[in-house]
Amino acid sequence: MPVESLKRKRLRMTDILSLLKLQYPDSKCSLNYNSPFQLLVATVLSAQCTDERVNKVVVPLFDKYPAPDDFTQLTVAEIGKEIYSTGFYNNKAKSIKGLSHALVDEFEGEVPSTMSELVNLPGVGRKTANVVLGNIFDVPGVVVDTHVTRITNLLGFTKSKNAVIIERELEKIIKEKDWTLFTHLIIDHGRAICVANRPNCAECTISQFCPSAT
């Protein structure tokens, strides 16, 4: 099979995005939050956990502890008890307490708006930073989660499983204005049609552009 040129990838991606935008016109971040800090915490909790489960946890959590100051008053064990059902609760609790202290001590309780500042917060990597930047500060970024990794491999846009490599490859073929929306569209498609281990290619609107379609 001939190697697909960058130009052809861009054209194919444009067609795919056009169809996905029609199929999921209300596509957006599915995490519940009422502030930049709450989205930051919810995204930390979403690691290896479904958004549905995270949302069940954060509604009562943020009712009791809405701001960074509130979490600095809690122990790691207390935070862990609140977020237990999201999995890996001890590491997540340490991250949440650490980033809360950092926000209070270094940013007057406000979430910073740059990648370099965000990734220096405890427990915050590029994925989490891009979620916050794209959905709060309108700074375009490609969020690479499990859906994006799996589906972009199936679509033949990457052969990598490395999130940073995938992010860089996708940035070259997606228009910058669509970087943030792309992730939401792929997540919606991954939940509805291109489900892991049982993709419904017969009902897939983008199957004509997918080399893995059966």
Residue span(s) of the chain under CATH 1.10.340.30 come to 36-136
pLDDT exceeds 80 at position 2: no
Residues 6+ apart with CB under 8 A from 35: 66, 67
131/127 Cα distance (integer angstroms): 6
Residue span(s) of the chain under CATH 1.10.1670.10 come to 6-28+142-209
The CATH architecture to which 36-136 belongs is Orthogonal Bundle (1.10)
For the annotated catalytic residues, the residue numbers are 127, 145
Q: What is the pLDDT of residues 156-192, one digit of tens each?
A: 999 999 999 999 999 999 999 999 999 999 999 999 9
6-28+142-209, CATH topology level? Endonuclease Iii, domain 2 (1.10.1670)
Q: What is the pLDDT of residues 123-144, one digit of tens each?
A: 999 999 999 999 999 999 999 9
